[in-house]
Structure 1
């Protein structure tokens, strides 16, 4: 797992060879990122199921309650298979756009 601090968010990139290894590494370190906007970039090379992605749903909901954003990047899944409040996008550019939109929503009180 590679962590990159950006100006407005933290990017976490999977470099493990399996989803389970990445997920376990993320869980061990997630307290570190409690107050930060997070983008998780999960490699398209990792075999991952919809159920695996749903392991992040409660974390995404908790981040939203805390006033921070949580976005997952992966281009191999159908985002229509997930709840609307679960941000999954195919590119980093779209992930950053979501962070910006959610920042505007928070400023407007939504």
Structure 2
């Protein structure tokens, strides 16, 4: 797990461990990220399925309830299969775009 913090956004990149191990690590380190927007980058994984994405659902809901963005980046999953409650995009740039839009919405009171 690699962590890169830029401004108020933390990018967490998964390289080797399983999705379940990654979710556990993020839960353990959550106080460190709770005030940041979070991007989870899973592009280095060879296979990923909807069940893997759903593992992040509780963490995503908690983070979004705290008025922060939570975006997963993966280009190895059909985005139409992903539940609407969690944001998944194919590129890091799109993740940054989503965060920028969500920050504008929060600033406007949505």
| Compared CA separation, residues 14 and 66, structure 1 to 2 (3 A) | same
Residue number in structure 1 paired with 2:58: 58
Residue 11 of structure 2 aligns to a residue whose secondary structure is strand
> SS at 2:88's partner residue?
strand
Count of residues paired in the alignment: 110
1:48 deviates by 2.6
Give the match's secondary structure for 2:58: helix
Give unpaired runs (5+ residues) of structure 1. Answer: none
> Normalised by the size of structure 2, how large is the TM-score?
0.88
Query: Equivalent residue for 2:14?
Result: 14
Q: Distance in 2 between matches of 1:39 and 1:17?
A: 17
Contact 2:47–2:76 (Cα < 8 Å) also in 1: no
TM-score, normalising length: structure 1: 0.88
Tell me how far 1:82 sits from its aligned partner: 2.1
Structure 1 segments of 4 or more deviating over 3 A? none
Alignment root-mean-square deviation, CA? 1.6
- Equivalent in the alignment of 1:30: 30
